[in-house]
Amino acid sequence: MDLENQARIKELGEKHGAENLVAILGSSDPDCAELAAETVTVGDPTYAGPLTGVQLGLPVYHVMEPDIKDQVDEKVYEEQVAMMEMVLEVDALIDAVKGIREQHSKL
């Protein structure tokens, strides 16, 4: 995950408390989604960014997971995400993020 984004997530965690945050990913690749999910739960696995060793344990979802999709205004989802839903491997993306969530999300 981009180092700047890591810094922002870390800062948000400190400001609001990890228990008040949810991470929603938009990654297009399952491997990248898994890495990002790991980063916001057990810390940066590449040991390069500000979240190295920081175990936020955030509940992490992909934007295309039904739990999230169902909460978004249908029209907004249609405008912003529907096209990519046809393009990406949605099941693989969900499995990648869900795997990490079930293992490492604290909340």
Partner 1 sequence: MHDPVVKSAAYVLAHVPNMAFEFGTTQDVERQKDPESTYLAKFSDHLRTFEQVIGYAPFQTYIGNMHPDKLATIPRPWYEGDKVEAKRHGRYGEIMPEDEFFAWLRLVDAFELVLLEEQFLNELRPRLEKNPIMNEADLEKIGSGRSGEEIQKLVDEKTAAPLKLGDRLVGCVRRAHEVDATLTAHVIAENTASKASGAIALRHLLDKTDIDPKDIDYIIECSEEACGDMNQRGGGNFAKAIGEFGNCANATGSDTRGFCAAPVHAMVLAAGLVKSGIFKNVVVVAGGSTAKLGMNGKDHVKKGMPILEDVIGSFAILISENDGENPVIRTDSLGKHTIGSGSSPQAVMQALVADPLRRLGLTMEDVDKYSVEMQVPEITEPAGAGDVPTANYKMIAALAVMKKQMERSQIPDFVTRHGMPGFAPTQGHIPSGVPFVGHARDLILEGEMSRAMIIGKGSLFLGRMTNLFDGISFLMEPNPGLSEGDEIDESAVRKLIADALRQVSEGLAQSQD
103 in contact with partner 1 (CB under 8 A): no
**Under the criterion CB under 8 A, does residue 84 sit at the interface with partner 1?**
yes
Smaller CB distance to partner 1: residue 4 or 14?
Answer: 4
HEC-encoded secondary structure of the chain: CCHHHHHHHHHHHHHHCHHHCCEEECCCCHHHHHHHHHHCCCCCCCCCCCCCCCCCCCCEEECCCHHHHCCCCHHHHHHHCHHHHHHCCHHHHHHHHHHHHHHHCCC
- Which one of 12, 81, 90, 92 is in contact with partner 1 (CB under 8 A)? 81
Site for partner 1 in 16-75 (CB under 8 A): 28-29, 31-32, 35
